[in-house]
Structure 1
Amino acid sequence: MSELYKKAIEVLENNWRGRFSIPCAKLYPFQWFWDSGLIAIGLAHFDMEKAETEIKTLLDSQWGNGFIPHIIFHSESDSYFPGPDFHRSDLHPQSSKKYNSTGMTQPPVTGFVLEEIYRISKDKKATLKFIESTIDKVFFNHQYFYNNRDPHNEGLVYIYHNWESGTDNSPIWDDIWDTMNPPEYTFERRDTTHVDPSQRPSKREYDHYLYIIDIAKEHNYSDAKIAELSPFLVQDPLFNAMLIKSNESLIYLYEKLGKHEKVSQLKKWQEKSIQSFNSKLFDEEIGAYVHYDLRNERPLQFLSSSSFSPLFAGIPDEERANAMVEVMLKKFGGEHQYLCASFDPTSERFNPKKYWRGPVWINLNWMLYNGLKKYEINDIAQRVKQDTIDMLQNNGFYEYFDSRKEMHNNGKAGYGGNNFSWSAALLIDLLEG
């Protein structure tokens, strides 16, 4: 076992909180939806009981309508803003009575995470038993999305807040902020006391974030009212690709379990979703998938790491997949660049140090690696894997990394939180692969 592998296990052990993992100490002291799913993949390699507990705790926070929140506040902590007192999940009549949470969600990774856990398991029979006890909750979550987040019945679901995308301050949202003029909020940031403020969203960006939440709260987090009134309403290729990938996993696992009653519904969702995804979100001019602004009825024509996430879900055909990889290599893959920056390095909006405005993220690289392997584009898959390992080896288990190779000479090209759980978890999976 390599030193890097051992260190990754240590990071995960230190971030374990008895029933769930935190992304990292101080900066993120609670349980996050998509973090938990991806962390469970790493845990499954060396502690299956913890991996299963992680997922059980996450699903235990599910609301009465199938919704799963993006943050579950298991404890009191003043080190994070906005906390439970701002989010007021209790305003929704079907919210969890057991846990305080946000009224937003995150990319729905749980379906494919269950399949990954099964793939990793050395005791398939026991793992299938665990999956049998949890899979219906994941199906219920998917049902929530298609019933409540797809106003035009296209098979594409919307997000109503940039935090739901997982790519919080992406330059993609700048054009939406230009359509809004939120009030100036008075609040005390917590993230910038732990991390260099130049690496985080600005105060004015936070005004937009809080304003969108206030609109949702005003209507008790009603999906119908949010669809009608939220100034931010976007069909996101990353979010929808995760849902489609998770649908595919649920079909596989239900068939494995011999439980076929929900498979036909999943297949119907899948067919409609993939067709709409390819016809609406693919931009011929750019040569990859883009976000669609549902509020203002326009595509947001920017390349980001999200543009390539459909490879992970097998959405493009082989010809399109190969053409997309050419676009990625041209824009993101220069000899002085690590793959794959979170935003187009050739854009004037690119910032290689600032959160989702340019740095490389391990979770998107892990998806890209597995997507490229699916299409047997193995040489580029190996490059993504090696770039990922090199960044972690050179800097440690940071939240995100500079994409410029020359910045990695002194071990200070990792940014955000350190000893970050999904960076450690997915590194373990890459080393095992």
Structure 2
Amino acid sequence: MRVDEATEDADLAALRGRAIQILRTNNRGGYTVPTDNLYPFQWNWDSAFCAMGVATFDVQRAWDELDSLYTGQWTNGFLPHIVFHQVVDSYYPGPDVWGADHVPRTSGISQPPITATAARFILARAGDDRASRARAAALYPKILALHDWWDRARDPEASGLVGVLHPWESGADNSPVWDRPLEATPATTTVFHRRDVALVDAAMRPRQWEYERYIYLVELYRGLGWDDARMWAQTPFKVADVGLNAILQRDERDLLALAERFGTPAEQQRLSERAARRRKGLERLWDEEAGAYYSLDLVSGQSLKIASHASFLPLWGGLDDPGRAQRLADELQRWVDLCAFGAPTMAPDSPEFDQRRYWRGPVWAIVNWMLGDGLARHGCGELARRLRADTRRLIQRNGFCEYYDPLSGEGLGGDTFSWTAAAGLAWAFD
């Protein structure tokens, strides 16, 4: 072995050790907080990514992560985006603002579904052993119930596209894609005090005008008793988000694989038919002239013609058209070539680009993971390797931060961040 190879192996071993330490430190007794203080509870899609990272060194603890998340599942199958396992006052809005009737206390909106993908990942890491098969079998009906909820509550017209009723539900909280729908959403009149800007520079966080509309939507839905049909009918914010629909498509495909092992023939048939409907739904978001997937405002009926990282997530979801996959890869390559580190969440030459503000430009390790995986699956290995290498370089230089400046590489947001550590263990350090 050459000296440089030995040094690289030692560096990777050190990074893996640090990532494992972060996930263990952020463990709160069966679930992982994203980071201390800033996010002191269990978040839905964070937890699924964390479970995959934890599976690289502790399979049973990885299953515990998913089981803990599903203690927040409601009887109708809905899985909230936050489970408040304990009372901590360092985060707003807390459980009293949500007013949801569940034990443990939860929020009232969801997040991109990753748990079927996580379960398959853990099974593979476990070598499909008997204990993991038993835990996957026990988890399967809960994941199925969640997917049935998405179909029933967020696609009541059976269009093939699900709608998000809050920017937070997309996972990309303050993406520029939401600017126009939020402008049509009233602002709350409630005086509230954000905790995030006391912990992180406000220049890295969503703006106040956005937060006023986030809270308005929470108050509206709380007043509707978190009733799915009433929320769907009365909300001013309803968007078929490319990112969430692509992630749902991937998770549903992984759920079908679980159903083939742990489900009934009727469930397999239902999931197979729904997967076909989801593929057709996603096709409605493709703009052939632009060569991009755009989200759709379901209130106004207008396409939201702003490309973000989500426009490329159909690569993660799975595309049948190699030519389209290459068009997406070519455009993403253009974005990456404009940066010191890829992939930015907005094109650096777009007017909406803000290199330091949350989902308006920075690089996220978990986004790189999804894009890199999708690129590799569609034969775009060179760009996939670039994203993996950039993720590794960012972590080596600046630690396990929440997100990163794509131009300078500076670490931004929270530090010792769990899903960044998980992305390293499960993908970037492999």
Q: TM-score, normalised by structure 2?
A: 0.95
How far, CA to CA, are the matches of 2:161 and 2:263 in structure 1?
A: 28
Alignment correspondent of 1:345:
348
Instruction: State the 1:335 CA deviation.
Output: 5.3
Amino acid at match of 1:416: G
Structure 2 residue aligned with 1:55 = 66
| Residue identity opposite 1:116 in structure 2 | F
Q: For 1:75 and 1:353, locate their aligned partners in 2 and report how far apart those are by CA, in whole Å.
A: 31
Q: Secondary structure at the match of 2:337?
A: coil
1:123-156 CA-to-partner distances (Å, cap 9, x unmatched) read 5332111100110100010001111111321121
Please name the residue that 1:156 is paired with.
Answer: 161
Per mean C-alpha deviation after superposition, the further-off stretch among 254-263 and 223-232 is 254-263
Q: Give, in whole Å, the separation in 1 of the partners of 2:50 and 2:300.
A: 36
2:16 corresponds to: 5
Q: What's 2:6 paired with? A: none
SS at match of 1:292: strand
Q: Give CA deviations for 1:265-322 in whole Å, capped at 9, x if unaligned.
A: 00010001101211x1112232121111001111101111111111012135111101
In the alignment, what sits opposite 1:93? none
- Give the % identical residues: 36
Q: CA deviation at 1:348?
A: 1.1
Q: 2:124 matched to which residue of 1?
A: 119
Query: 2:16 touches 2:429 (CA, 8 Å); kept in 1?
Result: no
1:83 aligned partner:
94
Are residues 1:64 and 2:75 paired?
yes
Q: Counterpart in 1 of 2:8?
A: none
Q: Which amino acid aligns with 2:353?
A: F
Offset, 1:259: 4.3
Which one of 295, 308, 328 corresponds to residue 291 of structure 1? Answer: 295
For structure 1, the 5+ residue unaligned runs are: 91-95
TM-score, normalising length: structure 1 = 0.94
**Pick aligned residue for 2:411 from 405, 410, 414:** 414
Q: Say whether the 8 Å CA contact 2:112–2:170 is kept in structure 1.
A: yes
Checking the alignment, whether the CA contact within 8 Å between 1:66 and 1:143 is kept in structure 2 is yes
Residue matched to 1:305:
309
Q: Which amino acid aligns with 1:9?
A: I
CA distance in 1 between counterparts of 2:190 and 2:168 reads: 18
- What are the within-5 Å matches in structure 2 for residues 396-407 of structure 1? 396-404=399-407, 407=408
In structure 1, what is the Cα distance between the partners aligned to 2:417 and 2:85?
19
Matched letter for residue 215 of structure 2: L
Give the aligned partner of residue 337 of structure 2.
Answer: 334
Aligned partners of 1:261, 1:177: CA distance in 2, in Å? 40
Runs of 4 or more, structure 1, over 2 Å off, are: 122-126, 256-261
Deviations 1:59-111 (A, max 9, x none): 12110100000001111111000100101012xxxxx3x21111000001111
Q: Tell me the number of residue pairs that the alignment of Structure 1 and Structure 2 aligns.
A: 419
Cα RMSD between the aligned structures? 1.4
Answer whether contact 2:369 2:428 (CA < 8 A) is retained: no
d(CA) in 1 for partners of 2:340, 2:169: 28
Query: Can you give the 5+ residue segments of structure 2 that lack an aligned partner in the other structure?
Result: 1-11
Matches within 5 A, 1:375-390: 375-390=378-393
Contact 1:286 1:301 in 2 (8 A): no
Q: Where does 1:21-420 land on structure 2 (aligned, <5 Å)?
A: 21-90=32-101, 96=102, 98-257=103-262, 259-278=264-283, 280-330=284-334, 332-334=335-337, 336-404=339-407, 407-408=408-409, 413-420=410-417
